[in-house]
Amino acid sequence: MSSEPQVVPEEEFAGLEWDYPNPFVIRVRASTDDIDVLDHVNNGVYLRWMEQVAWAHSQSCGIDWNVYHRLNRAMVARRHEIDYLAACFEGDRILASTWIAEPSRIGLKRYYQLIREQDRRTVLRAKTQWVCMDLKRGKPARMPPEFVEAYRPTA
């Protein structure tokens, strides 16, 4: 399994070519368990890294499971678009970044960029459509003011 993601301070990634300014960044490392029969990181692992950076960013904005339950609202993924640009291999250190874009009454988009630290190469670009969900009804709902404030656009 990948090691726990670490939030990366800005001074450690400031010189990289990010798609948008001011990314929120975590570092993950590809482990033996992440490798598939083609000897590279399995496609599903990249999706897990995207979820990890999104959740770490959400928590850094003050939105966590306790807030979800208190407000009876949660952000859930509706659609992913992923462009795999280069393979990653065991031991690679990856800087996974995210930005918030295109907020609406019931959701937002997150953009992602994953950069392999060793050669500074972008290995993935993606976006996810997130929708606010009423936890009790299981249906889309308007984002509460706390979400609107926390999830301000950064891209």
pLDDT score for 128: 98
pLDDT score for 4: 74
Q: How many domains would you assign to the chain?
A: 1
Residue 29 covered by a domain: yes
Residue 1 covered by a domain: no
β-bridge partners, 26 = 7, 96
Element (H, E) at 71: helix 65-71
Residue 97 CA to residue 112 CA, distance in Å, equals 5
pLDDT score for 3: 59
Residue 63 covered by a domain: yes
Contact call for residues 103 and 49 (beta carbons, < 8 A): no
pLDDT score for 1: 43
Residue 57 covered by a domain: yes
Residue 43 CA to residue 88 CA, distance in Å, equals 10
pLDDT score for 14: 87
Residue 155 covered by a domain: no
Contact call for residues 143 and 132 (beta carbons, < 8 A): yes
Q: What is the mean pLDDT of each run of 10 residues along the chain (155 residues)?
A: 76 93 97 94 97 97 97 98 97 98 96 97 98 98 97 93
Q: Which domain holds residue 103?
A: 6-150
DSSP sequence for 80-114: EEEEE-S---TT-EEEEEEEEE---SSEEEEEEEE
Contact call for residues 112 and 96 (beta carbons, < 8 A): yes
| CATH number of residue 78's parent domain | 3.10.129.10
Q: Which two tokens stand for residue 7?
A: 């939030």
Which pTM does this prediction carry? 0.94
Residue 82 covered by a domain: yes
Residue 90 CA to residue 84 CA, distance in Å, equals 17
Residue 107 covered by a domain: yes
Give the burial class of 148: count Cβ atoms within 10 A of its Cβ; 0-12 exposed, 13-18 middle, 19 or more buried.
middle
